[in-house]
Every structure is written in C-alpha cells, then in structure tokens.
Amino acid sequence: MRRLAILLCFTALSACSTVDALAPVSPGSSGSSVALRAPRFADSKPHEWDSGAPWNYAVHGTDVSKYQTSVDWPKARASGVSFAFIKATEGGDRVDDMFADHWRGTKAAGVPRAAYHFYYFCRPAAEQARWFIENVPNERSSMPPVLDMEWNPQSPTCKLRPPAETVRSEMRIFLEMVEKHYGKKPIIYTSVDFFDDNDLSTFRGYPYWLRSVAGHPTQKYGSHPFTFWQYTGTGVIPGMKGDADINVFNGSEAAWNKWLRQNTR
C-alpha cells in the first residue's frame, strides 16, 4: 500500500503538498521574494536523484548554526538562497554562538529567516520554551519559529530516549507556548528515524520541515505533508565555507510569496 501511495504521489505531486502545486520554471512576476528561481547548487557528495529531484523546486534556502561562520549573506542570496533557518537555542541554557551574527546578517541582506530550537531530552519542554522565548526576538518580519526534533546519540550529557507518547506530549507543550508568544504556528523539523520512532504521522496540525537526503520525502515519509524539505547536508553555497545544508520550499514561486505574506506579519 505504501508503494502505491508513493506512485500516486509522484504522478500527482500536488496531493502531497501543503501549498500550491509546483510551477514550471519560468520568468517570475515583479515583487517576487525569490532570490534566484530553481538554482542548482553544487554538492560535495551528490545523491543520484532518480525522481523528485530538488532542482525541480523553485525556491531554495539553507540552515545554519555556529558551524557556519563569516557567511557572506548577500553573496549567498545572489546565488539562490531565498530563506534561512538559524539555530538559536538548545535545551534550557545554551544559545548558539553565531545566532546573533546570522540573525543580523540575514536581515541586512534581505533574506527571510526563522530561528530554531534544538530539543534536549533531559529538560522539561516548558523550560526550553521559556529559554527560546527569552533569547529570540519577537519580530513580525521573521518567519515562524522552528522546533528541531531528532535523536542526538553523540550528546555527552543526555542520551535519554523517552517513550513516543512522552515525546509528543512534550512537543505539544513547547509548540503551544511558543505559538502563544510569537503569534505564529511553529514549524517542526525532523528526520526519518525520529519521525518513525515517535509516530509523528499522527502528530498533525503543524507545518513540517523534513530531512531526506537519499530520496524524495514521499519515498521516506509516505504521504505526510511537508512545507520544507532538507535535501542535502553536503551542498556548496557561494558565500559559505564548507558543506552546507540546503532546503526547498514545497510549492511554486507564487505559493512562496503567498506563504511569506501570511507568515511574516
């Protein structure tokens, strides 16, 4: 049944989108917020896309943390970066070393951006939400906040893996507190293993940003809707040193402009 769903989704991709169907690559209208339509970034370890290739999408962006230093945001934007997700906080006591710099740099370069929180399983969700709120400005012009949910087996201080029911309950606490403060429905970022381990196919009502670097999200997450797709962690973006995460918005250029108007006010 899952194979049939995937086949149907590829033949009618709009059914798997949370927004408008993909639009052909064509000259854009005036007033577009897309930096460069359908850019095709280089990749140091490219995946051989047999179908659902990311360069078929009109709008691309990146995500950054302390590991991306001295980013030339105007250059990155000119190369096709139309949005950025910026790590802000982790747990209940850590602020990313580069958050302030990236936050200022993207704004100055005219790159729409959102702050994200990396969840730590050894602190209560409410405490983490308060920490995020304390450290991330409440700006109407920024995109909705993001909750990054993934296992972190390399953590030196917390290797706890709570039951799925507990994970979903804590997620809801964090998301509701953050939405109340910022007035915007938060985005959930996750990976395939975390999604499956915690039955997130049942956790609806929020836009998803899905990681899938070895296949289209419909191959890895079935028909679960998504708004953003992280398709590589080894991309090459002008203006950024080293490997870069690259993402696409799941919709046409017109849909992107509409989404931004609705979520940055």
User: Which amino acids are annotated catalytic?
Assistant: 150
Please report where in the chains the tokens 């499956």 appear, as a residue.
196
Query: Whose CA is closest to 124, among 186, 190, 170, 188?
Result: 170
Quickly list DSSP for 36-50.
SSS---EESS----S
- Count of other CB atoms within 10 angstroms of residue 138: 11
Strands (E), the chain: 42-43, 60-64, 81-90, 94-95, 113-118, 146-149, 187-190, 208-211, 228-236, 244-249
Please report where in the chains the tokens 């359908």 appear, as a residue.
38
CA 64 to CA 160: how far, in whole Å? 25
